Copies of this chain bind each other. A is one copy, B any other.
Amino acid sequence: MDKIIAIQGAKGSNHHKVAIDFYGANVPLKECMSFDVLVDSLLDNSAEFGIMALENTIAGSIIPNYALIDNHNLHIIREEYLNIHHHLMALKGQNINDIKEVWSHPMALLQCKTFFKKHPHIKLVEDVDTAEVAKRIANKKLQGIAAIAPKIAAEIFDLVIIEDEIQTIKDNSTRFVLVQTTKPEVKADANKASIKFQLSHKRGSLAAILNAMSDCKMNLTKIQSLPVIQTPWKYSFFVDVTFDEYANYQKAISIIEIMAEEFKILGTYKNGR
């Protein structure tokens, strides 16, 4: 039997697009209405893999998803950068003046802020997903309600696109990762890694780690500090590095393991850019 991929949201969502890119159009899906549910389906083995958005060029890191991966010891095995296109869609025959409310995922609402400023008669309502709303509009024949979703959702659910490309910043790249609960073998083409460690608030401690990484020819592509909750003056760092030689990477992590606390590899995989 084919392995089941848990996605955040419904068919027609951006997570669905990424699943298709990874596994083809007939990928067996489990639709999850939150990232928490997605992680639960990995933990109870009702899905083998999960696809999670991790950061985008507008809002930065999706910190709660980093926390989910970290707290449940998930492993990142693959990544993809997807350009996000938001389209406003509704039942056929309706136009922008017919729309009273738009229901969508908070992130999609945020990314279309400027468009909705020009249409103050439309009420913004948080919903669990982008594409699931498109489905609901179609199934329940909801008049006056619009969804924000990718083009694929309008095709699947036979809706009309009222306005296309309503996102404020046109160049909106989102990074998705494929995760699983078991620790995988590192593949031969791996040239990127996501790691996490803690440091005490001691002067130069981060510089020392970055020096070691640089000495081992690691390139930093992302760094993010987060205060450790309820532990003043202690910081977690989520760092992504790319590298040419796996041996150099192994050397780097063996050094960081000694220098930092709570060191953990979230995943070693092929660079998606």
A83 is an interface residue with CB less than 8 A from chain B: no
Chain A binding site: helix, strand, loop or mixed by DSSP? mixed
CB-nearest residue of chain B to A67: B58
Copies of this chain held together in the complex: 2
A184 is an interface residue with CB less than 8 A from chain B: no
A206 touches B220 (CB 8 A): yes
B207 touches A219 (CB 8 A): no
The CA-CA distance from A166 to B213 in the complex, in Å, is: 42
CB-nearest residue of chain B to A201: B219
The residues of B that contact A171 with a CB separation of less than 8 Å are 229-230
The residues of B that contact A272 with a CB separation of less than 8 Å are none
The CA-CA distance from A171 to B228 in the complex, in Å, is: 11
A211 is an interface residue with CB less than 8 A from chain B: yes
B223 touches A225 (CB 8 A): yes
A217-261 interface (Cβ within 8 A of B): 217-227, 229-230
Q: How far is the CB of A71 from chain B (nearest CB, A)?
A: 12
Stretch at the interface among A41-49, A120-128, A143-151: A120-128
The residues of B that contact A94 with a CB separation of less than 8 Å are none
The CA-CA distance from A221 to B58 in the complex, in Å, is: 23
The residues of B that contact A201 with a CB separation of less than 8 Å are 219, 221
Which A residues are closer than 8 A to B by beta carbons?
A: 57-61, 63-64, 106, 109-110, 123-126, 169, 171, 201, 203-204, 206-207, 210-211, 213-214, 217-227, 229-230
List 28 interface pairs A-B (beta carbons < 8 Å), by A numbering: A57-B227, A57-B229, A58-B63, A58-B64, A59-B63, A59-B64, A60-B60, A60-B224, A60-B226, A106-B109, A109-B126, A123-B125, A125-B125, A125-B126, A171-B229, A203-B214, A203-B217, A203-B218, A204-B214, A206-B210, A206-B220, A207-B207, A207-B210, A207-B214, A220-B225, A222-B225, A223-B223, A223-B224
